[in-house]
Amino acid sequence: MREAPPESGRNHDALEAALVKMIVCMKQVPMVSELPWDRKTGLLKREAAEGMMNPACKSALEAALRIKEGHGGHITAITMGPPMAAEILHEALSMGADRCLLVSDPRMAGADTMATSAVLARAIETFCSDFDLVLCGCHTSDSETAQVGPQMGEELGISSIASVDDLKLTGRRLRVERVSDHFLETLEMDLPGLVTVTTAHYTPRYIPMAGLQDAFREPSILTAGAHDLGMDEAELGLEGSPTRILEVFSSTAGKQNVVLAGTPRKIVEELFERFDDAIGSVIRKDLKAVK
Amino acid sequence: MGEGKRSIWVFGDYRNYFQNRVTLQLISRASDLAKAIDATVCVTVFGHGVDEWVWEYTCHGARKIYVCDHEKLKFYSNDIYLHLMEKLVREHRPEILLVGATAFGREFAPRLAKRLKTGLTADCIGLDIGEDGLLVQTAPAFGGNMLTKIVTPVKRPQMATVRPGTFQEIPHDNDAVAEIVRVPLPDDLPEDRVTLVSSVRQPERVQKLEDAAVVVCGGRGMGSRKKFRNLYELARILGGEVGATRPVVYSKWADEEALVGQADKHISPRVLISFGISGAIQHTAGIRDAGFIIAVNKNPHATMMKMADVAIVADANQVCTALIKELRKRIRS
Ligand SMILES: Cc1cc2nc3c(=O)[nH]c(=O)nc-3n(C[C@H](O)[C@H](O)[C@H](O)COP(=O)(O)OP(=O)(O)OC[C@H]3O[C@@H](n4cnc5c(N)ncnc54)[C@H](O)[C@@H]3O)c2cc1C
């Protein structure tokens, strides 16, 4: 997969080759708590929500920026999403990413983690095949599956370590720390590799508003669709996803949702009259009023 | 479908056994599912000197156990275990494969699904067999405000991860028997690309808030640090713990330790009383396993109120005070 540097401009390329070429995969997630769903398809109507960069992805970018500051490096931020997801790429630029790629195609909508990881891996192979390190957020706030990162590692055929709190690069050897099932683990692997990063140690740097505005003026975002990645329908979106959503329903269905109002004293009395068992059985006390 | 009878597989995850009984819980659920589709419950055990676990899984309901016992398998390793598991699954073609959502399982399962090119549903809270014989996987979506039912119609095995504590294990039965299949170490075992430099057992973290049966949770609507202190008295009387939202922790009304939410603590009390909390997704992601929920808020339309069994429209602090008073009266009697 590694390409030899081209003959021309040797000095420049030698310098480039010493840089750590990093890719940070990020996702835009909704900021609001109540999101409209399409009841028919069971999919999120993402276009209706205001978005932000997923917190763990931001930590992954912060980790990459620190490697860049320490070793010299080049960072490409990649996201797959609707055109609006370009917002987080602008934010990534203002934080210090060097280049951005938006992978966007209406046919990619409805992708599960299998299809998403396939698309992202293909984007990396197509646009930055000479990467050293891929960093992803360990999970997203809107779906929490934590699957895309490890699956991308498989797709790219490189070694990977999930949920790392801390990373340190020495030459081409990466040492990471993580807490895994009550064990504090120190692990090492050679580059190229992939890690997913937690929010534990990498608090993202603050970007002043002006920096963000500048980033929006820069036209340095590449866009690619399925065609550019040489992918066909069968690998994309719903088609490429082995899972199917049968139904989406509110998790509060089944809640009694009894509304009590009035003076606090009256409310509390009524609460105990009606629900003394629900509370009393848990605290193992009889809460019946003495008459 | 391979040789004869169908099978449901559970990945035997025994690390940290005393905290982590998720494998036993999955064997139990798999046994229920197996009745519905007439299948055998199988468990895989990889490691070195693992007879103890083979015995344990037998007593808890496994009917067939694939054991690969070798020095090279001493440490949990994704590269090595994935290779072994992929081989076994391709050979025996189970219908369903369940993995505990431990830190290891959450990395192992998606990678395995990718290699097998099948679907995987994370963190299921329900597993059932549908009318068409498919595994219906119920999982939280969007931080837990919604639930989805998911199936994998074509690809096999149908894979799911499940968090510890979701299902009840079958009681230990000393007379249980299982067929034990000894699997030799494959010749083509790959090099582990990841080196384990050190692994240190963490001191047992006290998980008071996570394990509490009753949690009293307060938000910005409590009004002030002084009023917030009232919640500690209520929690004391109820024998519970105090949780808080982020603004509360930022204002130093409560310690960082009390923060409940997506990235921090997930709590699962049987009774949760929530005071002056709006119900932002980052907070509710941490309380999706709560049982009976009482919410107090001035605003009847707050999201938190919609999630509650009992929604009390009133001033948070006044209700807290009234509760303390009433409980003292009732408990003394
Ligand atoms: C990346 C990220 C991560 C986050 N992580 C977390 C997290 O882990 N945990 C967390 O909690 N938050 C988290 N947040 C913050 C979260 O979005 C909300 O801002 C927070 O949960 C709101 O806390 P609250 O409900 O106490 O305050 P508010 O949203 O301000 O709600 C106060 C509520 O109190 C009610 N109220 C006001 N006065 C009274 C009164 N006198 N009596 C009764 N009710 C009253 C109001 O009607 C309102 O509903 C995160 C945010 C981001 C962006």
pLDDT on residue B263: 62
- The answer, yes or no, to whether residue B332 has pLDDT greater than 80, is no
Helix axis angle, B22-37 relative to B51-59, nearest 10°?
A: 50
Q: Which residue's CA is minimally distant from atom 1 of ligand 1?
A: A55
HSE (CB half, 13 Å, CA atoms) of A275?
22
**CATH fold for domain A12-235:** Rossmann fold (3.40.50)
pLDDT on residue A32: 54
Residue B83 maps to a domain:
yes
Nearest 10 degrees: Cα torsion B247, B248, B250, B251? 110
Q: Kindly state the average pLDDT of the residues B193-198.
A: 96
- The answer, yes or no, to whether residue A291 has pLDDT greater than 60, is no
Residue B134 maps to a domain:
yes
Nearest 10 degrees: Cα torsion B319, B320, B321, B324? 120
Percent of chain B with pLDDT over 70: 94
Choosing among A122, A191, A279, which should be mutated to test the B contact, i.e. which has the most B CBs within 10 A?
A279
- Are B216 and B172 in the same domain? no
Q: Which helix H or strand E contains B250, and what residues bound it? A: helix B246-250
B130 vs chain A: nearest CA distance in angstroms? Answer: 11
Asked if the interface predicted TM-score (ipTM) of this complex is over 0.90, the answer is no
Domain of B141? 7-182
- Are B144 and B219 in the same domain? no
Look over chain A and give the mean of its residue pLDDT values, rounded to a whole number.
85
Confidence category of residue A33, pLDDT binned at 50, 70, 90: very low
- Are B175 and B215 in the same domain? no
Q: Which residues face A102 on adjacent strands? A: A79, A223
Q: Using a CB-CB distance cutoff of 8 angstroms, which residues of chain A are in contact with residue B285? A: 141, 144
CATH of the domain at B38: 3.40.50.620
pLDDT on residue A9: 44
Residues of B (21-40) whose Cβ lies below 8 Å from A: none
- Are B18 and B167 in the same domain? yes
pLDDT on residue A282: 80
Is A150 exposed, middle or buried (CB count within 10 Å of its CB: 0-12, 13-18, 19+)? buried
Specify the number of domains making up chain B.
2
For a substitution probing ligand 1, which of B222, B252, B283, B307 has the most ligand atoms within 8 Å of its CB?
A: B283
Of the candidate ranges A240-249, B85-94, B213-222, B281-290, the one whose mean pLDDT is the lowest: B281-290
**Cα gap A171→A20, rounded to integer Å:** 9
Other beta carbons within 10 Å of B5: 11
- Are B224 and B154 in the same domain? no
Q: Using a CB-CB distance cutoff of 8 angstroms, which residues of chain A are in contact with residue B300? A: 259, 261
Residue B200 maps to a domain:
no
Largest CA distance in chain A: 95
On whether the CB atoms of residues A21 and A131 are closer than 8 A, the answer is yes
Q: Using a CB-CB distance cutoff of 8 angstroms, which residues of chain A are in contact with residue B263? A: 55, 199
Q: Could you report the per-residue pLDDT of A54-91, keeping only the tens digit for each?
A: 989 999 999 999 999 999 999 999 999 999 899 999 99
CB proximity B155 to A under 8 Å: yes
Residues of A (10-49) whose Cβ lies below 8 Å from B: 32-35, 37, 42, 44
- The answer, yes or no, to whether residue A34 has pLDDT greater than 80, is no
Output the ligand 1 site: residues, CB below 6 A. A 55; B 219-221, 223, 245-248, 259, 261-264, 276-278, 280, 282-283, 296-299, 302, 315-316
Q: Which residue's CA is minimally distant from atom 36 of ligand 1?
A: B221
- The answer, yes or no, to whether residue A276 has pLDDT greater than 50, is yes
pLDDT on residue A182: 83
A218 vs chain B: nearest CA distance in angstroms? Answer: 32
Q: Could you report the per-residue pLDDT of B289-301, keeping only the tens digit for each?
A: 788 999 999 999 9
Nearest to B19 among A144, A182, A250 (CB): A182
Q: Could you report the per-residue pLDDT of B3-58, keeping only the tens digit for each?
A: 568 999 999 999 877 667 899 999 999 999 999 999 999 999 999 999 999 999 99
What residue type is B100 in one-letter code?
Answer: G
Domain extents for chain A? 12-235, 255-291
Residue B187 maps to a domain:
no
Q: Which residues face B140 on adjacent strands? A: B147
Confidence category of residue B321, pLDDT binned at 50, 70, 90: very high
Q: Using a CB-CB distance cutoff of 8 angstroms, which residues of chain A are in contact with residue B292? A: 275, 278-279, 282
Look over chain B and give the mean of its residue pLDDT values, rounded to a whole number.
91
CA angle A167, A173, A178 (to 5 degrees): 30
pLDDT on residue A6: 45
HEC string of chain A equals CCCCCCCCCHHHHHHHHHCEEEEEEECEEECCCCCCEECCCCEECHHHCCEEECHHHHHHHHHHHHHHHHHCEEEEEEEECCHHHHHHHHHHHHHCCCEEEEECCHHHCCCCHHHHHHHHHHHHHHHCCCCCEEEEECCCCCCCCCCHHHHHHHHHCCEEEEEECEEEEECCEEEEEEEECCEEEEEEEECCEEEEECCCCCCCCCCCHHHHHHHHHCCCEEEECCHHHCCCHHHCCCCCCCCEEEEEEECCCCCCCEEEECCHHHHHHHHHHHHHHHHHHHHCCCCCCCC
Residue B196 maps to a domain:
no
Of the candidate ranges A38-47, A256-265, B317-326, the one whose mean pLDDT is the lowest: A38-47
- Are B152 and B252 in the same domain? no
**Cα gap B70→A234, rounded to integer Å:** 41
- Are B55 and B132 in the same domain? yes
pLDDT on residue B268: 82
- The answer, yes or no, to whether residue A2 has pLDDT greater than 50, is no
Q: Kindly state the average pLDDT of the residues A240-267.
A: 86
* Atom number in ligand 1 closest to CA B279: 25
CATH of the domain at B255: 3.40.50.1220
Q: Could you report the per-residue pLDDT of A88-135, keeping only the tens digit for each?
A: 999 999 999 999 999 999 988 888 888 999 999 999 999 999 999 999
Nearest to A182 among B16, B123, B330 (CB): B16
CB proximity A190 to B under 8 Å: yes
Residue B195 maps to a domain:
no
pTM more than 0.95: no
B38 vs chain A: nearest CA distance in angstroms? Answer: 23
A203 vs chain B: nearest CA distance in angstroms? Answer: 13
Residue B226 maps to a domain:
yes
Choosing among A145, A196, A269, A277, which should be mutated to test the B contact, i.e. which has the most B CBs within 10 A?
A145
CB proximity B138 to A under 8 Å: no
pLDDT on residue A42: 54
- The answer, yes or no, to whether residue B333 has pLDDT greater than 60, is no
CB proximity A166 to B under 8 Å: no
pLDDT on residue B179: 97
Q: Is B241 helix (H, G, I), strand (E, B) or coil?
A: strand
